[in-house]
Amino acid sequence: MRFADRVAIISGAASGIGLLTSQRLAEEGARVVLTDVDEEAVTEAAGRIAETGADSIGVRVDVRCYNEIEAAVALGVERFGSIDILLNSAGGNSRRVFGCSEPFHELDIEIIDWGLDVNLKGAVYFCHAVLGHMIEQERGVVINMGSVSGVEGCYSPDYGAAKCAVIGLTKSIAMIGAPHGVRSCCVSPGPVLTRPEMANMKTPLGRAAETEEIVNFILYLCSDDAAFITGSNHLIDGGRTLGGFR
């Protein structure tokens, strides 16, 4: 029970890495606040966790809306007493989300705005909302989800730019938090089998990652076993960013 008496808040918690991390944190003793823009899905997910005997609540949050983030954080503190872990998992490639096939320079600017807002501003907003609580309690861990696209680039520049900027956000929060016992790390996966089509992305190891492999590392970074790790970006990409790989 590595996370007994810890409270975690997770964005993008209704599916994928966010959902599995929420479930695993709860299994290991954490009280969890699941947030997602899909109210029905996040409420159902939190309910399933609560059925196991863990403390869990689901809150609809659009990460583009700071007041919704602030309210969710306040609810977590009111209900459970603290915020000890933040996982910024909400995000997505705007071209995929909106089914766009046209090149970047022909995209509607609203789609680009969505990509920047969800993938970057949402993480900035959540960090802003939780950092004061973590500093006051002299303890906390922030995990930001980056992407291999933030390191190697991609054909959706808003996504690549946002994920690259998340690395800078991580380092900045680590600098601010270090004197107060608050750590910040970025996890940048390559292809992950949260969607079947990710299996088609090539890596030197010849496969995409299982979601569990990413979540296992996130849990390690959240735990006291990683107490001396902060400000770093961790690639879990099967070697995709190795020089010379095609």
Tell me 190's DSSP state: S
125 in active site: no
- The per-residue pLDDT for range 92-130, each reduced to its tens digit, is 999 999 999 999 999 999 999 999 999 999 999 999 999
Alpha-carbon distances of 134 from 39, 105, 179, 226, rounded to whole Å: 27, 41, 11, 17
- Give the residues across from 7 on adjacent strands: 31
- Give the residues across from 35 on adjacent strands: 59
| CA proximity to 89, closest of 25, 5, 153, 134 | 25
The CATH number of the structural domain formed by 7-236 is: 3.40.50.720
Q: Average the pLDDT over each of 15-29, 39-53, 142-156, 197-211 and give the range with the smallest value.
A: 197-211
Residue 140 burial (C-beta neighbours within 10 Å; 0-12, 13-18, 19+):
buried
- The per-residue pLDDT for range 60-72, each reduced to its tens digit, is 999 999 999 999 9
Element at 87 (helix H, strand E): strand 85-88
Q: Which residue has the tokens 């810890």?
A: 6
The yes-or-no verdict on residue 246 having pLDDT over 70 is: no
Residues in the chain: 246
- Confidence grade of residue 200 (pLDDT, cut at 50, 70, 90): confident
| Mean pLDDT along residues 191-215 | 91
Active-site entry in 66, 125, 155, 159? 159
Tell me 98's DSSP state: T
The yes-or-no verdict on residue 147 having pLDDT over 80 is: yes
Beta strands 233-236; 140-145: pairing state: unpaired
Domain segments of the chain as ranges: 7-236
